[in-house]
Amino acid sequence: MQTAEIHRRWLDFFEKKGHTVVPSASLVSDDPSLMFTVAGMVPFVPYLSGLVPAPFDRATSVQKCIRTNDIEEVGKTPRHGTFFQMCGNFSFGDYFKEGAIRFAWELLTTSEADGGLGFAPEDLWVTVYEEDEEAIALWREHSTLPDERIQRLGKDTNYWSTGQPGPAGPCSEIFYDLGPEYGVDGGPATDDDRYVEIWNLVFMQYEVADVRSKTDFTILGELPRKNIDTGMGLERVAFIKQGVQNMYEIDQVRPVLDRAAEIAGKTYGEDHADDVRLRVIADHVRSGLMLIADGVTPSNEGRGYILRRLLRRVILSMRLLGVEGPCFAELFPVSRDAMQAAYPAVAEDFAFIERAAYAEEKTFLRTLASGIQILDSAVDAAKSANAAVPGDTAFLLHDTHGFPIELTLEIAEEAGVPVDAEVFTSLMQEQRDRAKADAKAKKGQRADLSIYKELRGLGETLFTGYGELVHEGRVLGIVVDGAPVREAHEGDIAELVLSETSLFAESGGQDADQGLIIGDGFEAEVLDVQKPVAGLIVHTVRVVIGTIGIDARAETRVDADYRRGATQAHSGTHIVHAALRDVIGQSAHQTGSYNKAGYLRLDFAHTEALSSETKSEIEEISNLAIRSDYDVVTREMPLDEAKALGAMALFGEKYGDRVRVVDIGGPWSRELCAGTHVSSSAEIGMINLISESSVGSTNRRVESLVGIEAFRNFAAERAIVQQLTGGLKVPRGELVTKVQDLGAQLRAAEKKIAALEAEKLRERVPQLLASAEQLGGVRAVLASLGAVGSADDIRSLALTIREQLGAQPGVVVLAGEAGGKPVVIAATTAAGREAGVRAGALVRTGAQILGGGGGGKDDLAQGGGTDAAQIDAALAEIRRSLGG
């Protein structure tokens, strides 16, 4: 049975049982505490916790998920994958244990011909929480399982909670027995790989508090509305139903594995290490495909970093299989073809997906080439010193150059040199600790979402700001220092939840409104407006006058000037986006944006820098659209209708069933957008592109000033031109030529000065040779040169002196200050190297004292630092290392 067919049967079954079919949410989670959607229940958490009223009593979904916490296990076990699909059925105060157990048994054991999954009852086992007599009785009633295949287990395996105060309850897990050839008898209680968990039924039954550990907490009592949350692993069921050994061999994954093996000239199943690498490739290519399809692009932080890591592990695994060139163009189309039956978007958006993936591959292959050069030098030095490759070098390669530690270890092992893994591990742990501390600090910046549960239950905050700037509402909640309070007093920084507001909350790239909240006897300055949970708007304010209390009437007043600037910038973003697509092509779609009064920033899919001519053309088209005074029309309609009209849905954005469509000039610019906008394009005033830059291998960024800020920038540039023409006494039309001439004169003068300085240094050769001393059996020239033009001057002088030393064992170590920074360069003769003198080792010795680092080969090396005052001390230490 194909994976897409299992997917279809799941949804059909539960739809017939009265469940609302909910499409898979994005892999990019709405939950601010999660980077990705890590489980099928994540999109339903607000409903399961009661934070947001559920819009349905029963629901079902097949949810896309990403987990990378067990990434090192991928390929090694039958069922660890970074991308997986979780089939779920959910009840929100409707059916409970009896329904969940009855539905699960029916779907699993109904024959394939009758629309079920066709599992033989004798192959199934279940586990229940040891004290859950109700669940045991229901399994006996609704299944044909004998008592010995209903096993009781403890809280550590069969009790679910979030680890925080809130809902919790027992669970019941369903396992498939692979057969005696896979392990010992005894059922899931043996914890043997023979028994594969395929479905978990969570009975959300109790309210818990004082959570001391996963198994130690206080049960306050039963929930007023009990919920059901279940999850069936689609890949696990697929590999069982398809009769293969693991999830990497199912129809959605195996084709990539086979293509990778073909490219590498390997046969799957012949070598365990190669098999693991092939599974990693198949898994990670699919994960990369699905992440990019959901708008994630490779970067050095957050979600983009996780994607980058997955893609680079594919490249590394292919390299370890012997493939050094690009291979994504062979692998990604195969994954697309395997996944498009279940997810048509991967085919529809493949042009964007392949552009992002292939650019990342090209970048990383260059990184590998440069990293190998650094590693080769470190390996040579380690060999010469009969030592290990330093752990800090391995960490530098990993952290700064993106060079995988696995490849460092393999190359070093082939050369017969160990790597100081202890230091590397220590540095990695320090980095993780810093990241955890940073994440904890960021997480603590806003109150726990649970404090909004009761407030959100009162209904959505009504936003009236599309049509008015002033509106009166009622204070529903006040939060100070992360805790709910009844009042906020003068001087407090507080979060206010109102029944209605005209203040725009930051979203869709648009910054929050500025303004005031005023009531009887109080006034508060608005510092920020956010939506911490769907449907709830929270105002962060500084109480300027008086005291704000619960139930007080409160008038929201938007700063009209700021809102005008923000609407200009947001509409300007749409116009620049349309102009980009006109000039570059339809592939240049928006991947991110930010706008506020007077400023816009737009990220778009593209791999090459824009020429000056292209930037000018985009700017001109944008301003012509403004001059054309296009009508800006906003309409609300169903999402499907909006898409049928050609409204652009942007990568990474999430949309409800009803959306706002913003047209500028009719279909010229038609996008889904919940931001605020001008009523006609002429109101934008002016677009002034001030910057274009790279924000990753597949994305570019343009920045622009808008409206009065654009005019002020042009006025400032005009003043600069007037000052230059006046000072240089040339007309404006000749200014560029005059500045170019002055630049050429300056460069010629600098070149002449550099030549004179170099000649002056060469005149010191006899004096420096005369200063040579015998140290450790070699003739050594060690000298501080003082301030010099550049490090190249020092290197040239060192090589000249080394040549004068001839065939005798010799070494030259020169140091100086170039550009305010200390530089040390060492050069050895062939006989000096035979005597055991290594330029790279000498440089590292000196650079440590200079507060920096360095390296190179045995014959020539360079280092530097930050403290030029330590040059003499560095040379003294080098002298001691030579035996002086």
CB of 258 closer than 8 Å to CB of 10: no
> What is the phi/psi pair of residue 500, to 5°?
-145, 150
Q: Are 248 and 75 in contact (CB under 8 A)?
A: yes
Report the distance separating Cα 763 and Cα 418, nearest Å. 46
Residue that the structure tokens 């030259």 belong to: 812
Among residues 545, 560, 449, the alpha carbon closest in space to that of 495 is found at: 449
Which strand (E) or helix (H) includes residue 122?
Answer: none
Token digits of residue 578: 């349309």
* Distance of alpha carbon 104 from alpha carbon 171, whole angstroms: 13
Residue with tokens 């220590």: 426
Phi (first) and psi of residue 877, to 5 degrees: -70, -40
CA 854 to each of CA 263, 489, 757, 844, 849: distance values in angstroms, whole numbers, following the listed order: 40, 58, 25, 6, 11
Helix axes 254-264, 302-320, angle to 10 degrees: 50
Residue 375 contacts residue 408 (beta carbons within 8 Å): yes
DSSP 680-704: BGGGG--EEEEEEEESSTTEEEEEE
CA-wise closest residue to 557 among 576, 541, 577: 541
Pairing of strands 699-706, 687-694: antiparallel
**What string of H, E and C letters represents the secondary structure of 771-804?**
CCEEECCEEEEEEEEEEECCHHHHHHHHHHHHHH
Please name the amino acid found at residue 338.
A
**Measured distance between the N- and C-terminal CA atoms of the chain, rounded to whole angstroms:** 79
User: Is 574 annotated as a binding-site member?
Assistant: yes
Q: C-alpha angle with apex 208: 475 to 497, nearest 5 degrees?
A: 10
Q: For strands 821-828 and 515-519, give the pairing.
A: unpaired
Q: Residue 871, class by beta-carbon neighbours within 10 Å (0-12 exposed, 13-18 middle, 19+ buried)?
A: buried
Contact in structure between 515 and 557 (CB atoms under 8 Å): yes
Question: Do the bridges between strand 590-596 and strand 150-153 make them parallel or antiparallel, or are there none, so unpaired?
Answer: unpaired
Does 673 carry a binding-site annotation?
Answer: yes
Binding site: what residues are annotated? 570, 574, 673, 677
Binding site for Zn(2+): what residues are annotated? 570, 574, 673, 677
